[in-house]
Amino acid sequence: MLLAEQLLNGLQYGMMLFLMAAGLTLVFGVMGLINLAHGALYMVGAFACAVVAASTGSFWLGLVASLAVAAAAGALVEMLVIRRLYNRDHLDQVLATFALILVFSEGTRWLFGDFPLYLKLPPALSGAITLPGGLQYPFFRLVIILVGAVVALGLWLLISRTRLGIRIRAGEADREMIGALGVDIAKLYTIVFALGAALAGLAGGLVGSIQSVQVGMGEPVLILAFVVIVIGGIGSIKGALVGALLVGMTDTLGKAVIPGLFARVMDTASANTTGSAVASMLIYILMAVVLLVRPQGLFGARV
Amino acid sequence: MTLKSLLLSATTTLALITAPAMAEPVKVGLITTLSGGGAGIGADVRDGFMLALKAAGDAGKEIEVILEDDQQKPDIAVQVADKMIQSDNVDVLTGIIWSNLAMAVVPAATAQDKFYLSTNAAPSALAGEGCNPKYFSVSYQNDNMHEAAGAYAAAEGVKKMFIMAPNYPAGQDSLAGFKRFYDGEVVAEVYTQVGQTDFAGEIAQIRASGADRVFFFQPGGMGIAFLKQYAESGVDIPLIGPGFSLSEDILPAVGDAALGTINTSHWSTDLDNPANKAFVDAFRADFGRYPSLYAAQAYDTANLLLSASAKASPSGDPDGFRAALQAADFASVRGKFAFGPNQHPIQDFYVLEVENRDGGLTNKIVGNAMTDRGDAYAELCKM
């Protein structure tokens, strides 16, 4: 029963990571842009959700707001800052988007104060339900698995079945050529960036409701999202999904199993500290192994 | 002589003439976290400290405070402290929240002959062999709250405990402190990652552990995330936290999920003494929120400083100033307060429970955990 619950935990953690990483891989893959401000947009989504939910009393309106506000913030940032960076090298992009993190963090603190905000799940999503087999599991975590699957499917359909998707793929392959063919490349990039931001915002609103909505909440997310897309292959939605599930499973099962394994060869106290330290390194070891064996990532097209 | 220093000396002379009993102005460097995720605690430290000076009236105006942000980074804290010592020429430093920052700043400050009064962090390394005549902890010793939780669990006759803390020095000290006074069986001891935001795996372990109670040390955002997820999980094993896990700075963000949770602390908003009542009322009136233990400790620190600087000047008569600090002759919001031989407090610890009072979440006292508790390191201190 514990193993079943931990497997389910690994799956839902993976889906959570996919939600966080999907927008980043889209922007990175299509636009070739390293966007460190992705975590800041995640934070913007969570704050928008918390503020709107608190003032209207509706979590669902909050979720809509997290999508809308993050998309708007993304579009604005693209037009004001990011647009000037496409022809610069990656170091300039890193610098500028790192500056954006600081601007967003302190701006948010200035607007909403020093203290974490309150954001609670609506009654319809809260509580635990009993699964077949008698396992009690939080309903909201099942919802996250579902939303992750829907977003994955939606993105796949968008990229492979729609005109916008064709343009996105074309832009990924050769941005000058599709510009010459009469596609408004500037507008396309704004749309893609806003879409990526909206995905980050949605993840912020959803995941923020079972975490702490506070300044700086985006930075750990950013690191994990980068690990996921490096493992999955940069720019690949499928890669992000597989990478996220791999990282989720590795992290959850590692933390559940490794301290116990260490306890067989050393005393309990040091097994607990060492074991948990090793467990927290596992995903980075996984990333290193993937990079050694397949430097372009599991589903990466380019090196 | 520049105009500024002329004016300065003129005013000091005037002050000496008009109020001969008054000591000369004391310069205090208040270093705390005012940006990033830890800014909520820093705001409480700042507001508690300044409120005490404001409440002291004219005596409070004799204290000049230089306030700076440490960004919760040890290197920045060291830079700020160096600037305050060398260029601002402060007499006393205070305000650091985090133990790793305190370890970077305190030994350097005392080595440069400055007093350091801790409003919060009190790592064991500074309580035992590393104690210093110029270093006072006005808060507690780091292990204390966890010891009190262990003592409470032992007194309650809890047979099986699940204990959990982040994997860093203060987390390891926390579990060691808990076990120092808990005599039942620890069925699982789990270390989480610092900054961890998802606790599904740990909650699954709690569910399967068969424990009677769960002790969790998860300060700041980690505690908010854990409490929210635990409430959603359907696991109903009662929680016990140190005061940090359920302090008033995070309770509004946790919401009703925290109601009824037991925790242990040396102070509470409803602790019944005149100084505390005045403090809590004034804090709520000025800032519209309940003060946390961090604010209470900063308020006490400022009052201790006022009481000592009224008797002796830290720069002119450091020995007299130190003796005045040791006497702890001020009205503490904790009621009784005294320093032990290593200049850490000897104080009582209470059992608290989260409640909703006047439309806000705060803690109420429901019992006693420990009486006149010093710390485990005092005997190692040679001064």
Across the interface, whether the CB atoms of B197 and A252 are under 8 A apart is answered: no
pLDDT tens per residue across span B26-57:
999 999 999 877 889 999 999 999 999 999 99
Q: Is B191 on the interface with A (CB under 8 A)?
A: yes
Give A116's contacts in chain B (Cβ within 8 Å): 40, 221, 224, 250, 252-253
Give A126's contacts in chain B (Cβ within 8 Å): 232
Q: Which residues contact B54 (CB under 8 A, 6 or more apart)?
A: B60
Q: Which residue has the tokens 């927290």?
A: A280
Mean pLDDT across the stretch B330-338? Answer: 95
Cβ distance A73 to A179 under 8 Å?
no
Residue with the bigger pLDDT between A49 and A120: it is A49
> What SS3 state is found at A102?
helix
Q: Read out DSSP for B301-341?
A: HHHHHHHHHTT--TTT-HHHHHHHHHHT-S-BTTBS-EE-T
Note whether B238 and B358 are same-domain residues: yes
pLDDT recorded at residue A179: 83
**Does residue B100 surpass a pLDDT of 50?**
yes
Note whether B155 and B232 are same-domain residues: yes
Across the interface, whether the CB atoms of B167 and A277 are under 8 A apart is answered: yes
Mean pLDDT across the stretch A97-120? Answer: 92
Share of chain B above pLDDT 90, in %: 83
Note whether B79 and B126 are same-domain residues: yes
Q: Which residue has the tokens 């995905």?
A: A199
pLDDT tens per residue across span A60-106:
999 999 999 999 999 999 999 998 888 888 899 999 999 999 999 99
pLDDT recorded at residue B273: 96
Q: Is B220 on the interface with A (CB under 8 A)?
A: yes
User: Which B-chain residues 40-69 have CB contacts (< 8 A) with chain A?
Assistant: 40, 42-43
Across the interface, whether the CB atoms of A214 and B205 are under 8 A apart is answered: no
| Tally of structural domains, chain A | 1
Note whether B135 and B228 are same-domain residues: no
Residue with the bigger pLDDT between B20 and A129: it is A129
pLDDT tens per residue across span B270-316:
999 999 999 999 999 999 999 999 999 999 999 999 999 999 999 88
Across the interface, whether the CB atoms of B207 and A259 are under 8 A apart is answered: no
The token duo for A42 is 């995640």
Is the residue at B13 inside a domain?
no
Mean pLDDT across the stretch A256-265? Answer: 84
Q: Choose the mutation target among A112, A212, A215, A272 for the interface with B, i.e. most B CBs under 10 Å.
A: A212
Minimal Cα–Cα distance from A274 to chain B, Å?
9
Is the residue at A12 inside a domain?
yes
Q: Assign B12 a pLDDT band (cuts: 50, 70, 90).
A: low
Across the interface, whether the CB atoms of B195 and A13 are under 8 A apart is answered: no
Give B254's contacts in chain A (Cβ within 8 Å): 118
CA atoms within 13 A on the CB side of A217: 34
Q: Assign B17 a pLDDT band (cuts: 50, 70, 90).
A: very low
Is the residue at A26 inside a domain?
yes
Q: Assign B9 a pLDDT band (cuts: 50, 70, 90).
A: low
The interface predicted TM-score (ipTM) is: 0.88
pLDDT recorded at residue B1: 44
pLDDT recorded at residue A299: 86
Note whether B102 and B228 are same-domain residues: no
Across the interface, whether the CB atoms of B195 and A273 are under 8 A apart is answered: no
pLDDT recorded at residue B4: 54
Query: B371: domain range?
Result: 144-265+349-380
Note whether B241 and B279 are same-domain residues: no
pLDDT recorded at residue B11: 52
**Does residue B6 surpass a pLDDT of 60?**
no
**Helix, strand, coil % in chain B, rounded to nearest 5:** 45, 20, 35
Query: A126: domain range?
Result: 2-220
Mean pLDDT across the stretch B119-145? Answer: 94
Residue of B nearest to A278 (CA): B193
Is the residue at A244 inside a domain?
no
- C-alpha closest to that of B51 among B356, B248, B294, B215: B294
**Does residue B18 surpass a pLDDT of 50?**
no
Note whether B259 and B290 are same-domain residues: no
Q: Is B204 on the interface with A (CB under 8 A)?
A: yes
Note whether B102 and B163 are same-domain residues: no
Q: Assign A219 a pLDDT band (cuts: 50, 70, 90).
A: confident
Is the residue at A151 inside a domain?
yes
The strand pair at B115-118 and A128-130 is best described as unpaired
Is the residue at B198 inside a domain?
yes
pLDDT recorded at residue B161: 96
Q: Which of A106, A117, A211 sits opposite B225 (nearest CB)?
A: A211
Across the interface, whether the CB atoms of B198 and A105 are under 8 A apart is answered: no
pLDDT recorded at residue A301: 67
**Rounded-to-integer distance, Cα B234 and Cα B205, Å:** 13
Cβ distance B34 to A115 under 8 Å?
no
pLDDT recorded at residue A269: 72
Mean pLDDT across the stretch A133-156? Answer: 91
Cβ distance B292 to B253 under 8 Å?
no
Is the residue at A257 inside a domain?
no
> In CATH, what number is assigned to the domain containing residue B157?
3.40.50.2300
**Least confident among A138-142, A258-262, B97-101:** A258-262
pLDDT tens per residue across span B192-245:
988 888 899 999 999 999 999 999 999 888 899 999 999 999 899 999 999 999
**Does residue A303 surpass a pLDDT of 50?**
no
**Helix, strand, coil % in chain A, rounded to nearest 5:** 75, 5, 20
Note whether B364 and B250 are same-domain residues: yes
Q: Which of B37, B204, B224 sits opposite A6 (nearest CB)?
A: B204
The model's pTM: 0.88
Is the residue at A19 inside a domain?
yes
Minimal Cα–Cα distance from A204 to chain B, Å?
12
Element (H, E) at A199: helix A185-208
Residue of B nearest to A123 (CA): B232
Q: Assign A264 a pLDDT band (cuts: 50, 70, 90).
A: confident
Note whether B240 and B276 are same-domain residues: no
Note whether B230 and B261 are same-domain residues: yes
| Tally of structural domains, chain B | 2
Give B205's contacts in chain A (Cβ within 8 Å): 2, 256
**Does residue A166 surpass a pLDDT of 60?**
yes
Is the residue at A260 inside a domain?
no
Note whether B226 and B283 are same-domain residues: no
Q: Which of B35, B189, B232 sits opposite A106 (nearest CB)?
A: B35
Give A268's contacts in chain B (Cβ within 8 Å): 189
Q: Assign A245 a pLDDT band (cuts: 50, 70, 90).
A: very high
Across the interface, whether the CB atoms of B200 and A9 are under 8 A apart is answered: yes
**Least confident among A279-288, B16-25, B217-226, B296-305:** B16-25
Q: Is B35 on the interface with A (CB under 8 A)?
A: yes
Is the residue at A7 inside a domain?
yes
Across the interface, whether the CB atoms of B35 and A117 are under 8 A apart is answered: no
